[in-house]
Amino acid sequence: MSARLQAIKWERPHLTILNQLALPHSSEYIEISDARAGHYAISSMQTRGAPAIAIVAALSLAAELSTMHFDTSASARTHIHMQLDYLATSRPTAVNLFDAITKLKHAVDTTITDSGQVVRDTYVQMAERMLDADVKDNMAIGEHGAQLIGNDKVRVLTHCNTGTLATAGYGTALGIVRSLHAQGSLDRVYFTETRPYNQGARLTAFELLTEEIPAQLVCDSAVSALLRSDPMIRAIIVGADRVAANGDTANKIGTYQLAITARYHGCQFIVAAPTTSVDLHTKSGADIVIEERDEAEILVQTGFERQGVLEGRLKRVEVQVAPVGTRAWNPSFDVTPAELISAIVTERGIVVKQPGASEFDMAGHMRGE
């Protein structure tokens, strides 16, 4: 992981995050002192990406608890449960958040003590372990994914932002890109702009430039033409906000159409996600709740005035793109059917479908089979 880019900084009891709404032209860090600030950072998309959402939520409460005193274990558990339930309302689709909340509640509920401070410390230590584990898991995903794609010089394409900015560090799909680059196998990575929030054009571009990885930006609507014109593209690699038991995958809007064009052009379509993104309680993609965001995100574009950026003075502006009165549909995610996915890469290894099967056995993978 590059020391030049760190989206989440934790030095007990202080949590600071890189404000992703200000990127790529300003690296502004925000202190998150409590669960309320963590909730706002997640819901406003100052921080985003399924793994990062879970870590910021967990650590925002850790920062809050570090300044509190509890007379009894019961009062500490009550407060922790209440705040975790509140954080769960920040964004509904990414399963990592709910997985982290379940584990954190279990940790404090199974701590045998009468001391509120012991319960508090148990929570903080568990949240810190989650931060460390996410980085290790992402590096393992990168290694497995690079192994799957091979050692030949290749080009790949990725969508949205799935790197250091979306995780505790290194990244999932972008972690595979990093690993390919590190082993000398990457000729170039194409990345989509990822409308309407432009996570690719703003965030992935920022990461790739920082890491000096050869890359090229493409419009969301240009991918099919690109696959037809560039035979060196070996795979499309995406992240995931939730993987159902059968392998159906919810990810940033636009992922589904990428899977369709990958199938048509004979290109591998690879999902990269930690096992914390796997939801065995969700049988298929039909059961995944899809977040719908404000239509203004499509109708109005926000950015920095170009001349100001060139001169080093930043001025944020809003541009009304569509006529006033236009209505818009703005789902934040879509669901890609397992049938269109070539492989799912987790920190545990590479998941493929059995011969003749159209779905994945994610439960078997989680059991180590």
Instruction: Report the alpha-carbon distance of residue 360 to residue 363 in Å, rounded.
Output: 9
Q: Which of 239, 228, 149 is nearest to 187 (CA)?
A: 149
Which residues have a catalytic role annotated?
241
Residue pair 258/251 in contact (Cβ under 8 Å)? The answer is no
Residue pair 136/169 in contact (Cβ under 8 Å)? The answer is no
Instruction: Report the alpha-carbon distance of residue 32 to residue 7 in Å, rounded.
Output: 13
Query: CB atoms < 10 A from the CB of 260, how many?
Result: 14
Instruction: Report the alpha-carbon distance of residue 205 to residue 253 in Å, rounded.
Output: 18
Q: Which of 67, 53, 52, 63 is nearest to 14 (CA)?
A: 63
The pairing of beta strand 8-11 with beta strand 242-244: unpaired
Instruction: Report the alpha-carbon distance of residue 289 to residue 92 in Å, rounded.
Output: 7
Bridge partners for 279 per DSSP: 244
Burial call 27-44: b when 16+ CB within 10 Å, e when fewer: eeebebbbbebbbebbee
Instruction: Report the alpha-carbon distance of residue 369 to residue 362 in Å, rounded.
Output: 10
Helices 50-65 and 73-87 cross at an angle (nearest 10°) of 150
